[in-house]
Amino acid sequence: MTARILITGAGGGVGTLMRPRLAAEGRVLRLLDIAELPAAADGENVELVEASVTDMAAMEAALEGVDAVIHLGGHSLEESWDKILRVNIDGTHTVLEAARRAGVRRVVLASSNHAVGYVEQADGEAGDYLFPRPDTYYGVSKVAMEALGSLYADRYGLDVIAIRIGSCFEKPRDVRMLSTWMSPDDAARLFEACLSAPSPGFRVVWGISANKRAWFSLDEARSLGYEPQDDSEVYAAEVLEKHGEPDPSSPAVKYLGGVWCGPDFDTAVKEAGR
């Protein structure tokens, strides 16, 4: 079992869900976030670090004595090019480079379905190594994250696994998420598999549950030892009653990235005003 794990972005949505789930006997979670984190609960074996993933000195210090890093830090939604470049792209480089300098051999990266958001879901089950088709600047940052992970694996021999996370929430929130959902418990199972798989090298895997309506392959994730236990189908009636069957031509279900492929996520036009 991995003894000391650094989790960046530990105060974010996925980080908060993983904090109790990745706790284990004999393991220390070093939790890092730019914002103040909730104090350790009684008996909780955590170390709290307040720092930015863009700060190389802070990241080198945070990676001292660590066995593996789960990099969740960064903007989790679309943002201006400037913020995406600085926090998501430069931040990921900083984490990988600090890991190399500190001798940390395993890095798990939170990539996203938005790295391939413009792939049409009607094209059949999305394979594990789909060529990038980012739907936003955020999606571009996830492509850059995967590229940086590949570089650090090939050049420096780190084990780097990029998880193209579907939608990791307590419950699916819309019809698309019946296909893209990863339950928090399955997410913890997948992170554990990524931490313990022997010598994986560089991998790209999909991060979803065993959903009946899944759009994505789980072959590569399963090859690392991931065995999902949950299925969004238990929420299907509730979600369909609330949202209705979507129009198949709407971006909400036409593309893997859903509404992120629609006009509301056109950051270039928003920034330029035309």
- Percent helix, strand and coil across the chain, each to the nearest 5: 45, 15, 40
| Nearest distance from C-beta of residue 71 to ligand 15L, angstroms | 13
Selected range binding ligand 15L among 35-43, 87-95, 108-116, 192-200, rule: CB under 6 A: 108-116
Site size with ligand 15L, rule: CB under 6 A: 8
Nearer to ligand 15L, 47 or 235 (CB): 235
| Nearest distance from C-beta of residue 67 to ligand 15L, angstroms | 26
Please list, in sequence order, all residues whose beta carbon lies within 8 angstroms of the beta carbon of residue 274, skipping any fewer than 6 positions away.
none
| Nearest distance from C-beta of residue 107 to ligand 15L, angstroms | 18
167 binds ligand 15L (CB under 6 A): yes
Sequential DSSP letters for 113-148: GGGGTTSBGGG-SBPTTPPP--SSHHHHHHHHHHHH
At 57, list the tokens.
């000195």
Nearer to ligand 15L, 224 or 252 (CB): 252
Residues 110-149 that bind ligand 15L (CB under 6 A): 112-114
Task: Return the closest-CA partner of residue 43 out of 57, 15, 61, 24.
Answer: 24
Q: 137, 138, 152, 255: which one is catalytic?
A: 138
88 binds ligand 15L (CB under 6 A): no
Give me the residues paired with residue 4 across strands. 28
C-beta contacts of 121-124 below 8 A and 24+ residues apart: 121/179, 121/215, 121/253, 121/254, 121/255, 121/256, 122/248, 122/254
Residues 60-79 that bind ligand 15L (CB under 6 A): 76-77
Site string for ligand 15L, 177-196 (x = CB under 6 A): ---x----------------
138 is catalytic: yes
Task: Return the closest-CA partner of residue 72 out of 31, 106, 36, 100.
Answer: 31
Question: Using CB under 6 A as the criterion, which residues of the chain lie in contact with ligand 15L when the complex forms?
Answer: 76-77, 112-114, 165, 167, 180
User: Active-site positions?
Assistant: 138
